[in-house]
Chain A
Amino acid sequence: MALLSVKDLTIHFHTRNGLVRAVDGVSFDVHAGETYAIIGESGSGKSVACYSLLGLVPMPPGRVEAGTAMFAGKDLLRLSNSEMRKVRGKGISIIFQDPMTSLNPFLKVGEQLIEPLLLHFDMKREEAWEKATATLEEVGINNAAQRMNAWPFEFSGGMRQRVMIAMALITEPEIIIADEPTTALDVTVQAQILKLLKDLQVRRNIGVIFISHDLSVVADIADNIAVMQNGKLVEQGSRDAIFTAASHPYTKKLLAAVPVGEKQPAPAQDEPPIVSVDNLCVFFGESGTDSEVKAVNNVSLQIERGEILGLVGESGSGKSTLGRSILRLVNPTSGSIRFKDHDVTHMNARQLKPLRRQMQMIFQDPYASLNPRMTVYDTLSEPLLLHGICNRKNLDAEVFRLMDSVGLARESVLRYPHEFSGGQRQRIAIGRAIATKPQFIIADEPVSALDVTIQAQILDLLLELVDRFDLTMLFVSHDLGVVRYLSDRILVMRSGELVEAGTANEIFTAPKQDYTRALLDAIPGKSLLAARAADSGS
């Protein structure tokens, strides 16, 4: 018998801008000892559906229109407040996405951990404290007894997520809802957390509902997978069935969006490198003190004309700072940067201006990289006029040509950024970057803020533009799969230093450094990649 049985769940939001069918007739079952993954892009209703089980959807504007959710003989959707409080944290626990904001910064970790025990089991404080310490140990926190007295900010992101998991487990619930529990974490940490969750689930025989936007994350741990789109559950089935025999077009699109394979490296050029960086150091903070951060430490690299160079590293590795310092958006502390025949290391803004036309950047966050008060037309015409590429007469034609190149509808030329989706905004930003017909572009995590299917479109657009305009690109990313798909060569960065360089094939088949190996091992979704590779091979 199912632990939880959701039937025909329908939740609407009644907002000022009209009715939103957030969850539309969703049914699924979760069994003990099962990991049930719900996959969907942002706005698909996956989180709302699960939060409603615990009455955590703000009502109003939300309203449960129909459906039942049977758990332990009761319908969760029709519980009184006090009955619901007995389910929350005791029968069903929840782990939230962002461990940095989900713990109360004003209370010590131990205090927050024992809270559900005191509440649901009428336990003595000492007893609860002991149990909490044991649970902290179980989720892999060293020195648990001491760490109980620490503040949340003394923990790293991964450690906080372990605390959150301990908090969810401590009451021995029958079901745990994990809402994108690893999305905010680095890959290696993600791998640890996923393994921990799976181990605990098997050992304690609990049901886990795992919400994610990323098929590969759940690929190795899910037993069953459901796919949601626009509030509807479009397909569900066992993991293997979804991977090999998906029938719904949206599921197929999601599967296809996982980048597979690697680019054939471009043939070596005789020309001198377009960018060469020698012994570059970028330090922040006061030198010689604790506050000094060596963001980039003695890095040397060369970028050949026409190649796509992938730069991978985890957060804080200095990969973005390296990219920005090549464009002189960050001032280097020492070392030198050459762009073609120019030493740009110490150029001032005026000297740099003619070179800026030839090197451009695409930023990570399409919501922050466009001036909210400028229309597409203003944004795209700014570089054209600044560098004298167009005059007033042929400006309109050029702006439209740019919009065509990046796949934006011409009708939207007078619209403002907030009127576009994330993917469209990134297209505008790409249009701005290629407006001056540059030779070199740095793309700093250009797809990591986007939904998976959009990611695939933007990656393909970038590849097409590189080909068409003969661009050289430095592609900065934390995602090894994406980098492999796109790059001729790959650099691996850690704590400000370059640890390994090689072609995609070399890096993936014969990594020389332990760190690179750890990164490769941490890539989620091996089973999915295998299935996809077999699929695309056949």
Chain B
Amino acid sequence: MWRFIAFRTLQAIPVILTVITVTFFLVRVAPGGPFSSEKAVSPQVEAALERQYRLDLPMYQQYFTYLADLAQGDMGPSFNFPGQRVDELILQGLPITAELGLYAMLVAVVIGVLAGVIAALKPNSIQDYIPMSLAMVGICMPTFLLGPLLVLVFGIWFDWLPVSGWGSSPGDKILPSITLGAMYAAYIARLSRSGMLEVLSQDYMRTARAKGLPGHVVVIKHALRGGLLPVISYLGPAFAGLLSGSFVVETIFQIPGLGRFYVQAAFNRDYTMILGTTTFLATLIVLFNLLSDFLAAWLNPRLRYQFSKGK
């Protein structure tokens, strides 16, 4: 097991490095400097600014100093928020985005798994059709449409819930969490339905029933673990999706999290900010993919056995 973890972790390092490198050079070759939009700056000021942001060095030196700084957690100063460092800005936004992501993930997993399992227990019945139709709606209703619609209906027409902010008025976390989680709840519902159906058709389900076990024991003890493995493996990609979804949700609900920073930085061509957030988010996503892989492997006895034997 440990060997597997070490191996996979080592495999993630080149991925993260590639992300950093590609992002770095993409940003550097981008047409137009960071200050070209601003009005005539005197050459002296520009030179001073370039020195401050180390733009006067040759490209490869910039790259290696950036890597060295990054290793110490320093992502350099922001172009658009003078005086603030990118890593500080990221740390400001992170808790908010993390909280939003956590709630959305809870919404996705709890609703998704419940709906999927219920549907799989009685396929092609009303108990299957209703949750699966809702899941289909969830898949076809993108976050940036669902969000405004929820705001329109519950925030404006019924006036039940606040339509923006995060933690400033009671209940303002409900709509963003649902908006962000809905599509993943839909995917997870479909995944757990097909996973459960697959497992329920296995021979060993018949064995369990032939022992005289009651239905709920058969499902919970014998079917659930195998049936939900695909869901576990999906958690990594779902997390990546949630992060990019947070760009939209934070914009719609005006939540001061990482996602909104990223979108603003993209608009303002705040290159150090883009570079920093991309690196950070990408690393996070790679790590989560790794975690969900580990979890899935750990739940699979054959893999676990092989690892413990060092194979």
Contact = CB atoms under 8 A, between A and B. Distances in A.
A/B: CB atoms within 8 Å of each other = yes
Interface of A: 54, 56, 82, 84-90, 93-94, 96, 98, 101-107, 115-116, 119-120, 151, 153-154, 164, 167, 290
Given A56-B209, A89-B210, A167-B211, 10 more contacts: A56-B210, A88-B209, A89-B213, A102-B204, A103-B204, A104-B208, A105-B204, A106-B225, A154-B305, A290-B311
Interface string B294-307: 00000101100100
B38 interface: no
* Interface hub of A102, A164, A167 (most chain B Cβ within 10 A): A102
A516 B184 CA distance: 60
Given A151-B301, A153-B305, A154-B305, A104 B211 contact: no
B302 A153 contact: yes
Contacts of A54: 210
Contacts of A154: 305
Given A102-B204, A103-B204, A106-B226, A119 B301 contact: no
B14 interface: no
A289 to B, nearest CB: 11
A36 to B, nearest CB: 19
B43 interface: no
A81 B221 CA distance: 19
Interface in B198-217: 202-204, 206-214
Contact of A88 (B204, B211, B302): B211
A119 B213 contact: yes
B204 A85 contact: no
14 contacts: A85-B214, A86-B212, A87-B212, A88-B209, A89-B210, A89-B212, A96-B203, A101-B203, A103-B204, A106-B301, A115-B213, A153-B302, A167-B207, A290-B311
Contacts of B204: 101-105
Contacts of B221: 107
Interface in B217-237: 221-222, 225-226
Given A96-B207, A101-B203, A104-B204, A85 B213 contact: yes
B200 to A, nearest CB: 11
A288 B74 CA distance: 49
A93 B212 CA distance: 9
A486 to B, nearest CB: 34
Contacts of A151: 301-302, 305
Interface centre among B204, B211, B311 (most CB of A within 10 A): B211
Q: Which 4 A-B pairs have the closest CB atoms?
A: A88-B212, A89-B211, A101-B203, A89-B212
Interface string B120-142: 00000000000000000000000
A101 B199 CA distance: 11
Contacts of B203: 96, 98, 101-102
Contacts of A94: 210
Contacts of B226: 104-106
A105 to B, nearest CB: 7
A86 B211 CA distance: 9
Contact of B206 (A89, A96, A120, A167): A96
A56 B209 CA distance: 8
A115 B211 contact: yes
Contacts of B301: 105-106, 151, 153
Contacts of A90: 212
A107 B207 CA distance: 13
Nearest to B206: A56
Most buried by B among A98, A119, A164: A119
